[in-house]
Amino acid sequence: MADQHLFHDAYQPAQIARRVQEMGVAKARAAPLRLFVLALLAGAFISLGALLFGVIVTGSNLGFGVTRLLGGLGFCLGLVLVVIGGAELFTGNNLLAMAWASRLISTGEVLRNWCLVYLGNVVGCLGTALLVLGANTAGMGEGAVGESLLRIAEDKVALSWLEAFFRGVLSNTLVCLAVWLAMGGHSVSDRILAIMLPISAFVTVGFEHSIANWFFLPYGLALAGPDRLAILAVAGNLIAVTFGNIVGGTLLVAGVYWFAYLRGEGAREE
């Protein structure tokens, strides 16, 4: 009975730190073509979650907070598909910083992974946006879905650079915590439950995720054109949010947990 209990119990934080570190080494040294293909999938998965969010919040009369919470739960689809289905997401891969801090992988290996995965995510998002355009999803609800998605894009580009940056920091703190918690689970249901609260929280409170924005903003541009969404404002948001995501994932999650559990000779399971 004791062995059965241990098998079903979640991994402890120090054990998760070891698992994330090992995962970082494997990801940093994965074959480039494999990384890119799995990154394409992740971009598509996050885009589908973003699209589901847009449909859920359209026309809701449940109130601001409740509507966004329901939309956030729908957005969880993206990271659930990434983690359970197996894909490479740039924001989650900011956790490679743990293996880098332990000198198990080089700076070049980290940057190689991030660049390949970011590029694959972007291509996956743009490809999904094209498919959604072809499907005329914006026409649902007599065009209400398209207007809702366009307003989401407009709200994003209306943010100042600093607002977008700090929202990016907070977003990827929660995304990386979701990945961290999922690494503590043994079963599919464990991992899904671990993902849902942090992800729905970041969406509900309006934080910014760079890969999701690579769907929302190009899709908004395709719907409305540069007259309604300035291309420079779109680029500025994507840059600010990307850097914010890196800071949140590498420093506030990977860095803190590395310092707590993996620094020097203190990297032991408790």
Supply the CATH number for residue 101's domain. Answer: 1.20.1080.10
Predicted confidence band at 237 (pLDDT cuts at 50, 70, 90)? very high
Q: Which of 18-27, 141-150, 260-269 has the lowest mean pLDDT?
A: 260-269
Q: Are 267 and 243 in contact (CB under 8 A)?
A: no
Distance CA 152, CA 256 (A): 33
Beta-carbon count within 10 A of 65 CB: 10
Is residue 2 in a domain? no
> Tell me: the pLDDT tens digits for 165-202?
999 999 999 999 999 999 999 899 999 999 999 999 99
Whether 1 is in a domain gets the answer no
Q: Structurally, how many domains does the chain consist of?
A: 1
Tell me what the mean pLDDT of segment 143-157 comes to: 95
Does residue 270 belong to any structural domain of this protein? no
Six token digits for residue 253 = 């999650």
**Does some domain include residue 4?**
no
pLDDT in tens, 31-63: 999 999 999 999 999 999 999 999 999 998 999
Range of the domain at 162: 10-264
Q: Using pLDDT thresholds of 50, 70 and 90, give the confidence band for residue 226.
A: confident
Q: Is residue 269 part of a domain?
A: no
Confidence of residue 12 (pLDDT cuts 50, 70, 90): very high
